[in-house]
């Protein structure tokens, strides 16, 4: 099955999620509970399993290189958005900068990487580590403009914990007993269908009449097209193909749902963030297959 067919399959699952929302199988309470299950259980298991590879210095170097390059991409994305939207109110400007920098690299990125090549998941995990570190530090700072960063937010993040445990296991050659490894793998594999169902519930009911503000479309253009295409220009640099593929694909994902959470916690523009996540997710049905054709 081609990458485009895989992506179409994922979004057909999302349509089922939207239909379940329409007929109220998925209620607000159900969505909240299922989101917590994915974030705290299935996604960490998937992240752990991604790191269960035979140790090699090449993979270790690739993991660390992916982390470093991810930091560069995210910081530059934040700087571009912060500069371009300098005249917006503080609450909205902070949301826009975060929306443009932080993609949905976990919920949507992981399934797409799995569709392209499951072996690349170890680098997707590295991307997510840098993503979480920067999102919960500088991303939070943009909202609060205070130096009140709490490192416990990162340390207590289930996916970061799973990546740390998986990374230690990778470096030491430790492996779970077969039965436990099968359990971890099975639960981790639930991530893809569950996340796509949840994404379907997010795009359900979006109305174009709610998107009159041009900033919705500027954010969508930056997140889905401009920033990924700027990164595409680096394809000639001496970056290993597997790592560059992961960086490019995860950067081309729609706005991350984490931004809506941050906006709510730190009194940002909650409505704008929620609509931007839904709008870019809907548009990504078209943009992600196109971007994958550039690989």
| Domain range list for the chain | 3-290
Q: Are 203 and 282 in contact (CB under 8 A)?
A: yes
Query: Worst-scoring range by mean pLDDT, 110-114, 125-129, 142-146, 178-182?
Result: 142-146
Average pLDDT score, the chain: 87
Question: What's the whole-number mean pLDDT along residues 169-184?
Answer: 90
Q: Check pLDDT > 80 for residue 33.
A: yes
Three-class DSSP category at 248 = helix
Interval 192-215: pLDDT, tens: 888 888 888 877 877 777 788 899
**Range list of H helices, 102-190:** 109-116, 121-134, 140-144, 152-155, 158-172, 178-188
Question: What's the whole-number mean pLDDT along residues 61-83?
Answer: 95
* pTM, to two decimals: 0.86
Q: Check pLDDT > 60 for residue 147.
A: no
Three-class DSSP category at 27 = coil
pLDDT for res 83: 92
Range picked from 128-132, 160-164, 215-219 for highest mean pLDDT: 215-219
Helix, strand, coil distribution of the chain in percent, nearest 5 = 80, 0, 20
How distant, in Å, are the alpha carbons of 130, 154, 173, 246 from that of 237? 21, 32, 32, 15
Interval 75-97: pLDDT, tens: 999 999 999 998 888 888 889 99
pLDDT for res 80: 93
Q: How many residues does the chain have?
A: 295
pLDDT for res 85: 92
Tell me whether residue 158 is exposed, middle or buried, using C-beta atoms within 10 angstroms of its C-beta: 0 to 12, 13 to 18, 19 or more. Answer: middle
Q: Which long-range contacts (CB under 8 A, 24 or more apart) does 285-288 make?
A: 285/11, 287/224, 287/225, 287/252, 288/7, 288/108, 288/112, 288/252, 288/253
pLDDT for res 148: 54
pLDDT for res 145: 60
Buried b (16+ CB within 10 A) or exposed e, 248-265: bbbbbbbbbbbbbebbee
Class of CATH domain 3-290: mainly alpha
The token duo for 262 is 């941050």
The token duo for 110 is 């992981």
Q: How many CB atoms lie within 10 A of CB 114?
A: 20
Range picked from 143-152, 177-186, 271-280 for highest mean pLDDT: 177-186
pLDDT for res 224: 96
Question: What's the whole-number mean pLDDT along residues 21-48?
Answer: 88
How distant, in Å, are the alpha carbons of 171, 174, 184 from that of 165? 10, 10, 13
Give the rounded percent of residues in the chain with a pLDDT score beyond 70: 95
CA dihedral 110, 115, 118, 119 (to 10 degrees): -100
């Amino acid at each position: 099955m081609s990458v485009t067919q895989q992506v179409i399959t994922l979004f057909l699952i999302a349509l089922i999620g939207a239909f379940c929302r329409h007929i109220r199988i998925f209620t607000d309470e159900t969505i909240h509970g299922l989101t917590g299950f994915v974030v705290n259980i299935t996604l960490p298991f998937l992240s752990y399993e991604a790191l269960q590879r035979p140790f090699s210095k090449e993979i270790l170097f690739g993991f660390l290189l992916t982390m470093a390059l991810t930091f560069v991409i995210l910081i530059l994305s934040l700087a571009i958005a912060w500069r371009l939207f300098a005249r917006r109110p503080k609450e909205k400007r902070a949301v826009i900068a975060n929306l443009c920098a932080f993609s949905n690299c976990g919920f949507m990125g992981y399934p797409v990487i799995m569709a392209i090549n499951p072996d690349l998941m170890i680098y997707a995990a590295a991307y997510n580590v840098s993503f979480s570190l920067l999102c919960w530090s500088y991303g939070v700072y943009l909202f609060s403009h205070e130096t009140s960063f709490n490192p416990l937010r990162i340390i207590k993040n289930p996916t970061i914990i799973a990546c740390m445990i998986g990374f230690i296991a990778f470096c030491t050659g430790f492996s779970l007993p077969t039965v436990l490894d099968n359990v971890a793998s099975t639960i981790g594999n639930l991530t893809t269908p569950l996340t796509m169902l949840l994404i379907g519930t997010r795009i359900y009911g979006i109305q174009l009449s709610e998107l009159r503000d041009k900033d919705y479309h500027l954010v969508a253009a930056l997140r889905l097209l401009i920033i990924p295409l700027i990164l595409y220009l680096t394809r000639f640099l001496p970056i290993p193909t597997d790592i560059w593929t992961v960086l490019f694909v995860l950067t081309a994902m729609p706005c991350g749902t984490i931004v809506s959470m941050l906006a709510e916690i730190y009194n940002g523009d909650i409505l704008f963030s929620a609509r931007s996540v839904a709008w870019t997710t809907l548009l990504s049905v078209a943009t992600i297959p196109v971007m994958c054709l550039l690989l």
